[in-house]
Amino acid sequence: MNNRQIYLCENDLEGIFTAVYEAWSGKHPHSQVEIRTREPDNLEFFCEYHQVAKDEEKYRKVDHTIRRKLGEKVYEEICYAAAASEEEKGTAIYQTLVEGLGRTRPNPYVMQNLRNPYIRTVARLYQKVWYEYHHMLGFLRFREVEGDRLVAEIHPDSDLLLLLAPHFSSRFPGENWMILDTGRKTALLHVKDGGIQLKKNVVLSSRYDRTCHQKGEYEELWEEFFHSISIKERENPRLQKQMLPLKYRDCMVEFQN
């Protein structure tokens, strides 16, 4: 009887791809491999646990292989699935790659095989994250802080910061801005006409809290627009909740008052 091989990695794309590399290199039966992004509360019988530290070279090898052999569409779906909050994502991604790469030849149409439960899981997670990502593009709001900085706070179910980076970098290349994921305590930082970087374990000072409560030009513009297009006789709170879920509103300046 083969023990299950459980690879424990960090909960991000680089961590998962590094675990994929390590698990594949381990030469274990693919059916016995699991990739998890959380430490177990209790160790299970008949399992071997492998701690995986992130490795940029291994991550890039997996990244390059997926793009070259399976194509950009499959790569996109896997990246979005990796941003999901569900614990099952790591194993589903690994087994999907086994199906796409582990046969006699690569299968760029692997995501069409929805009879496979792992591929179904990746497709479901991709769709869930994709919808949340596009909601966030419309609902994210920046505040002015100290006159020359823009700050937005979000608390999505999925880990969206790196997915949001290309869009807002092209929208605001000449601004200093930060998008803060308050739940994960991570921040995406952009320097005016410069680069972008992801910061983890972000702790905000009380000075930040004070300045964020002061209204700036962006907040006033949003509030003015919101009230100017409102027609009192046509207000429909029930429909508004369907089109704009309540969970997004505490991050939107037009709903702060």
Residue 222 has a pLDDT of 47
In a shared domain, residues 120 and 8: yes
pLDDT of 210 strictly over 50: no
In a shared domain, residues 79 and 176: no
Give tens-digit pLDDT for 57-96: 999 999 999 999 999 999 999 999 999 999 999 999 999 9
User: pLDDT-based confidence at 102, cuts 50/70/90?
Assistant: confident
In a shared domain, residues 228 and 247: yes
In a shared domain, residues 74 and 101: yes
Q: What percent of the chain has pLDDT over 90?
A: 62
Q: Which of these three, 132, 152, 176, is where a domain ends?
A: 132
Q: What percent of the chain has pLDDT over 70?
A: 78
pLDDT of 126 strictly over 70: yes
In a shared domain, residues 155 and 233: yes
In a shared domain, residues 214 and 172: yes
Q: Higher model confidence: residue 147 or residue 190?
A: 190
User: pLDDT-based confidence at 231, cuts 50/70/90?
Assistant: low
Q: Which of these three, 114, 132, 150, is where a domain ends?
A: 132
Q: Do 142 and 151 touch, CB atoms closer than 8 A?
A: yes
In a shared domain, residues 211 and 232: yes
In a shared domain, residues 119 and 158: no
Residue 234 has a pLDDT of 63
User: pLDDT-based confidence at 23, cuts 50/70/90?
Assistant: very high
pLDDT of 212 strictly over 80: no
Residue 150 has a pLDDT of 87
In a shared domain, residues 152 and 218: yes
- Quote the number of domains for the chain: 2
d(C-alpha 34, C-alpha 90), whole Å: 7
Give tens-digit pLDDT for 145-166: 876 788 899 999 999 999 999 9
Q: Which of these three, 132, 157, 175, is where a domain ends?
A: 132
Q: Which domain, by its residues, includes 90?
A: 4-132
Residue 145 has a pLDDT of 80
In a shared domain, residues 161 and 210: yes
In a shared domain, residues 31 and 11: yes
Residue 44 has a pLDDT of 78
3-state SS record for the chain: CCCEEEEECCCCHHHHHHHHHHHHHCCCCHHHEEEECCCCCCCCCCEEEEECCCCHHHHHHHHHHHHHHHCHHHHHHHHHHHCCCCCCHHHHHHHHHHHHHCCCCCCCCHHHCCCCHHHHHHHHHHHHHHHHHHHHHHHCCCEEECCCEEEEEECCCCCCHHHHHHHHHHHCCCCEEEEEECCCCEEEEECCCCCEEEECCCCCCHHHHHHHCCCCHHHHHHHHHHHHCCCHHHCCHHHHHHHCCHHHHHHCHHHCC
In a shared domain, residues 214 and 169: yes
User: pLDDT-based confidence at 3, cuts 50/70/90?
Assistant: confident
